[in-house]
Amino acid sequence: SLAEIENSELFKYSPYKSLNEDQYKSVLEILTNINNSQGNSIFVSGSAGTGKTILATYLMKLLVSDVDNIEDAEIQEDDIYEINLIKEFQRKYPKAKIGFVIAMTPLRETIKKVFSNVPGLKKQMVMSPSETFKLGIKYDLLIVDEAHRLRQYRNISWRGEFKKKNQLLGLGDDGTELNWIMANSRNQIFFYDAAQSVKPSDIDEFKFSELQNKPDTLKLSLKSQMRTKGGNDYITFIDNLLNCDVKKKPDFSTDFELKFFDSFNSLYNKLKIREKENGLCRMIAGYSWEWKSDPKRKDNLDLNAIDIRIDGMEFQWNKTYNDWITSENAFEQIGCIHTTQGYDLNYAAIIFGLEIDYDPIQNELVIDKTKYFDRYGKNGVTDYELKSYIVNIYKTVLYRGIKGVYIYACNYNLKQYLKKYLNLNLDINVTTEIKGNNPRIIPFESVKPFVNAVPIYDIKVAASNFTDPQFYEEFSWAELPMQVSPKKGYFIAQVMGESMNKKIANGSYCLFEEYTAGSRNGEIVLAECSNIQDGDYGLGYTIKEYSSIKSFTEDSFRHESIVLKPISYDYSFKDIVLSEDEIIRFRVRGIFKKVLNWI
């Protein structure tokens, strides 16, 4: 199908793709510069999604093309200048030795597969920085994609091999993979974005700046957004959002879906629908959970160990490092920065983990180092450096989505901050649609009240805070599951949200018994709270565990406060505490009996 073709790696990284004006001008400038110099460095800068990898693969294919055998009739007038530049390059470097360098293993393996399917290109042309030593002589040209991920001698696991490569060049521990590229080639093209540096092993920005600031370095920039349908406005917005400097809520085109989810269950189910429609929809999280199922761990006793628990749902980290995005069962796993950087997704679901929160007093993001589990990402770095890397990680993964980005945050303050600027998902029926666990509504003429049916109220009860005002009076009659007998006072309502997910899954239909009298302490209750000013507009509802603090006199008592407690795997949910005037407007409508299941 067309969708399958568009989702394929060969299509996404194809060197045959048409270039935009930005990219085409860069090609001409790059070729002119290389042809006119005896050895030069070229930097092509651009934020995520500006087509750096596409331009890099296009150049690779272009420079090895046999342009001498192109028939004149096939040449368009606009192509003549480009073809002449290619011929000049091939005369200058006959049988040119060209390499395509990628430091990141997953992306490198993907590009190797692409090159093996393109005439004129070979997977052997794609290499790691250390493989640039293999030739024994200098390459005529090295094209370096994702150059911001080139490494230095810091927080790496292969220190011995790194040291040997530095020694080959007479360098000490301050030698970097950038030095290797420079030493092993006459010309270099670096595709670079400092904002996508995500680990302390990545070369410091100032070392790239030193090279960029040399008078003979050609500096080019790509501006046009080619990935996300949110365009450059989305890229700018995400940058401002994570810098806590948003001036106004954005308004993106209807072609791009940016939503915040209070419920992770709802996010998962909505993403599952998008996966069925489009493919290439994946969940990505910050490194806030230990990788217990890592097959490379020497102490790993359980490859099926659960790594991540969110809102009562359980997941493992990506089961494979290379080509995870297209691997089997990838949708049911959660990826990280290292398996997704450089890739496109139709929809990306981004999970802000427990390591990152928001400080409303200082108006800034804050990091909890104890809840960040990438040891090579945090050892020996300052708090400022760690925050910079983690924020860059979230920016980078937020840029993966072409058609949409879904966002969830584990920590309460960050949830509240993000909800100020992001549209809240309101598609509350998504969970029950997927479960298929819907009640059977009985036609009115067939109803025998509390004999074959009980009322089902057309309200959505919030398992979070009180819902927006709704009318309790509107209802139909529904049949109960076979194992439940109708009883006067029973009624059904749907519970939305995650604050009760230890007891009630998001989207569940629940059976309640109308409250009449008696102690409610310790009961799970359906509560309503009316606002006097909004009395004409209905009531707000929530479901929580009830407790109260009372003060007694000789002949009566009064509630000093009422506490409604969440029962959730997500500890960011807080108690709802009612006092004074709020208690007057508070009422228990029903006592929770059970979750209903018609399947």
> What is the sign of the dihedral through the CA atoms of 401, 568, 530 and 457?
positive
Predicted local confidence at residue 407, as pLDDT: 97
Angle between the N-to-C axes of helices 52-63 and 105-116, in degrees from 0 to 180, rounded to the nearest 10: 40
Residue whose C-alpha is closest to residue 177's, from 208, 206, 198:
208
User: Based on the domain organization, do 391 and 461 belong to the same domain?
Assistant: no
Residue 152 DSSP symbol: B
Residue type, 183: A
User: Based on the domain organization, do 336 and 238 belong to the same domain?
Assistant: yes
Asked if the structure places residue 343 within a domain, the reply is yes
Asked if the structure places residue 192 within a domain, the reply is yes
Is-contact 395 337, C-beta < 8 A?
no
**CATH number of the domain that residue 105 is part of:** 3.40.50
User: Based on the domain organization, do 322 and 461 belong to the same domain?
Assistant: no
CA 242 distance to own-chain centroid = 14
User: Based on the domain organization, do 184 and 235 belong to the same domain?
Assistant: no
Angle between the N-to-C axes of helices 52-63 and 80-92, in degrees from 0 to 180, rounded to the nearest 10: 70
User: Based on the domain organization, do 345 and 313 belong to the same domain?
Assistant: yes
Cα Rg of the chain, angstroms: 30
**CATH number of the domain that residue 460 is part of:** 2.10.109.10
Asked if the structure places residue 165 within a domain, the reply is yes
Asked if the structure places residue 283 within a domain, the reply is yes
The edge-to-edge listing of strands for the beta sheet with 139-145 is 126-127, 98-102, 139-145, 185-192, 41-45, 218-221
305 by Cβ neighbours in 10 Å (0-12 / 13-18 / 19+) ranks as middle
Predicted local confidence at residue 546, as pLDDT: 92
User: Based on the domain organization, do 398 and 456 belong to the same domain?
Assistant: no
* Total domains in the fold of the chain: 3
User: Based on the domain organization, do 14 and 163 belong to the same domain?
Assistant: yes
Q: Which domain-ending residue is among 401, 424, 447? A: 424
Is-contact 205 176, C-beta < 8 A?
no
User: Based on the domain organization, do 180 and 260 belong to the same domain?
Assistant: no
Q: What DSSP assignment string belongs to 33-94?
A: HHHH-SS-EEEEE--TTSSHHHHHHHHHHHHT--GGG--GGG--GGGHHHHHHHHHHHHHST
Asked if the structure places residue 110 within a domain, the reply is yes
- Locus of tokens 């390459």: 139
Q: Which domain-ending residue is among 221, 249, 270? A: 221
User: Based on the domain organization, do 182 and 54 belong to the same domain?
Assistant: yes
User: Based on the domain organization, do 419 and 441 belong to the same domain?
Assistant: no
User: Based on the domain organization, do 184 and 89 belong to the same domain?
Assistant: yes
Residue numbers of the domain that contains 527: 430-595
CA distances from 11 to 3, 26, 224, 256, 500 (A): 11, 22, 20, 21, 44
- Locus of tokens 């000490």: 172
Ranges under pLDDT 70 in the chain: 1-14, 16-17, 69-78, 253, 298-301, 426-437, 462-474, 530-539, 550-559, 580-582, 584, 599
Q: Which domain-ending residue is among 400, 424, 448? A: 424
Question: Do strands 490-496 and 454-462 pair parallel, antiparallel, or not at all (unpaired)?
Answer: parallel
Is-contact 217 41, C-beta < 8 A?
yes
Predicted local confidence at residue 432, as pLDDT: 34
Question: Do strands 364-367 and 126-127 pair parallel, antiparallel, or not at all (unpaired)?
Answer: unpaired
Residue 101, C-beta contacts closer than 8 angstroms, at least 6 positions apart: 126, 127, 128, 129, 132, 142, 143, 144, 145, 181
Residue 367's SS3 state is strand
Is-contact 182 207, C-beta < 8 A?
no
Asked if the structure places residue 569 within a domain, the reply is yes
User: Based on the domain organization, do 274 and 395 belong to the same domain?
Assistant: yes
Asked if the structure places residue 226 within a domain, the reply is no
pTM above 0.85, yes or no: no
